[in-house]
């Protein structure tokens, strides 16, 4: 008999087809976002699951699911997993690294450029019928070329973002839990390792792409925003919670920094409505990895992991060790 699995959110139909060759699949093509207790009910008797960031895999859930053997997250970030508890319960965990690096880096640039050059603000103004003449000072923004790009979180995506800056003749400074190897720095447009405060002080454009954990909660708050340049932009591609959104709203309102581009929010999708009252912020609904090819690659990566994990092999992107 095939093991039973749950695909916790809607996916490309061919993914379900692939899974059904190996498993008894319960899917959720209506894309209901399950509450924690609904998720437990859906997972009862299942050996495995494919999840996204909306599914919290924690002690409370695992205590009730003795048959669960593996959960494959369709995301590189896995702050929705309590990996220590999954290890304790002998439940394998995996994520989808690498397949989304370049797509997410592309989007980081799109968001940073839209923010610096005020593209969505200008488009809203145009659509609103306000364009009656040209003026020398309409929508003056900040140059990217020749400026300093500051990156906090220099993992694979951060490095892909840095590499793209060569064509813009930018200087790259970064902060990370650990310093990159010299050859990695060289490949990332000669990125220079500095303290977090130095990144904040010197960056003309700040990019946040670090994993969320209790230790990185509010990496950017009022104190950090206060030492940034008043002309600087901030782009958050990482996770809600990396930035203190209330403090960012105050800083944007008071023009303590010039503008922000945000793909992720605290408490998303119920983000702080005060963002909507600001015209110096570009807002997108967590779509940095959303290219057709990459979302398919992420789904297939999660499937590869689950097939390996439930057949007793080591999943290619295993996060737990026991």
Residues that bind ligand 8YV (CB under 6 A): 52-53, 74-77, 100, 289
CB of 295 to ligand 8YV, least distance (A): 7
Residue placing its CB nearer to ligand 8YV in the complex, 74 or 199: 74
CB of 52 to ligand 8YV, least distance (A): 3
Q: Please give the structure tokens belonging to residue 128.
A: 């609103």
CB of 154 to ligand 8YV, least distance (A): 16
Q: Which residue is nearest to ligand 8YV (CB)?
A: 77
Residue placing its CB nearer to ligand 8YV in the complex, 77 or 108: 77
The secondary structure of 160-218 as a DSSP string is HHHHHGGGGT-EEEEE-SSPPPHHHHHHTTT-EE--HHHHHHH-SEEEE-----GGGTT
| Active-site residue flag, 175 | no
CB of 318 to ligand 8YV, least distance (A): 17
Q: Please give the structure tokens belonging to residue 9.
A: 């959110």
Give bridge partners of residue 152 from the DSSP assignment.
175, 208
Nearest-angstrom CA–CA distance, 111 and 107: 6
Give bridge partners of residue 193 from the DSSP assignment.
174
Residue placing its CB nearer to ligand 8YV in the complex, 52 or 147: 52
Q: For residue 71, with 0-12 CB atoms within 10 Å meaning exposed, 13-18 middle and 19 or more buried, which class applies?
A: buried
Q: Which residue in 117, 118, 205, 239 is the catalytic one?
A: 239
Cα 52 to chain centroid distance, Å, stands at 12
Helices (H), the chain: 13-20, 36-43, 59-62, 83-88, 101-116, 119-127, 156-164, 182-187, 196-202, 222-226, 245-253, 292-310
| Active-site residue flag, 17 | no
Residue placing its CB nearer to ligand 8YV in the complex, 77 or 309: 77
Please check whether residue 202 is in contact with residue 148, taking contact to mean a CB–CB distance below 8 angstroms: yes
Q: Which residue in 22, 44, 218, 286 is the catalytic one?
A: 286
| Active-site residue flag, 18 | no
How far apart, in Å, are the Cα atoms of 184 and each of 149, 150, 163? 17, 16, 10
Please check whether residue 234 is in contact with residue 260, taking contact to mean a CB–CB distance below 8 angstroms: yes
Q: 3-state class of 238 per DSSP?
A: coil
Residue 118, Ramachandran bin (φ over 0: left; ψ between -120 and 50: alpha; else beta): left
Residue placing its CB nearer to ligand 8YV in the complex, 77 or 158: 77
CB of 127 to ligand 8YV, least distance (A): 28
Q: Which residue in 121, 185, 224, 268 is the catalytic one?
A: 268
CB of 202 to ligand 8YV, least distance (A): 27
Just list the catalytic residues.
Answer: 239, 268, 286
């Amino acid at each position: 008999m095939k093991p039973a699995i749950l695909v916790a959110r809607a996916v490309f139909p061919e993914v379900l087809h692939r899974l059904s060759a190996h498993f008894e699949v319960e899917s959720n093509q209506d894309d209901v976002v399950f509450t924690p207790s609904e998720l437990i009910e859906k997972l009862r008797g299942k050996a495995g699951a494919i999840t996204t960031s909306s599914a919290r895999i924690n002690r409370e859930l695992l205590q009730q699911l003795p048959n669960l053997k593996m959960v494959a997250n369709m995301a590189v970030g896995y702050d929705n997993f309590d990996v220590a508890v999954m290890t304790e319960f002998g439940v394998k965990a995996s994520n989808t690294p690498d397949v989304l690096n370049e797509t997410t880096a592309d989007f980081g640039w799109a968001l940073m450029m839209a923010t610096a050059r005020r593209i969505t603000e200008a488009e809203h103004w145009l659509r609103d019928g306000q364009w009656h003449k040209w003026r020398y000072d309409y929508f003056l923004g900040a140059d990217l070329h020749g400026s300093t790009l500051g990156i906090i979180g220099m993992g694979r995506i951060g490095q892909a973002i840095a590499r793209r800056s060569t064509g813009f003749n930018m200087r790259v400074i970064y902060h990370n839990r650990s310093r990159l190897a010299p050859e990695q720095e060289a490949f990332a447009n000669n990125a220079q390792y500095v303290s977090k405060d130095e990144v904040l002080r010197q960056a003309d454009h700040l990019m946040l792409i670090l994993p969320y954990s209790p230790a990185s909660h509010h990496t950017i708050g009022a104190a950090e925003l206060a030492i940034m340049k008043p002309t600087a932009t901030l782009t958050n591609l990482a996770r809600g919670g990396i930035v203190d959104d209330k403090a960012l709203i105050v800083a944007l309102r008071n023009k303590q920094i010039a503008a922000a581009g945000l793909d992720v929010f605290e408490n998303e999708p119920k983000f702080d409505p005060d963002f909507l009252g600001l015209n110096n912020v570009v807002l997108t609904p967590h779509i940095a990895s959303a290219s057709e090819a990459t979302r398919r690659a992420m789904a297939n990566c999660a499937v590869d992991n689950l097939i390996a994990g439930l057949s007793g092999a080591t999943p290619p992107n295993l996060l737990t060790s026991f």
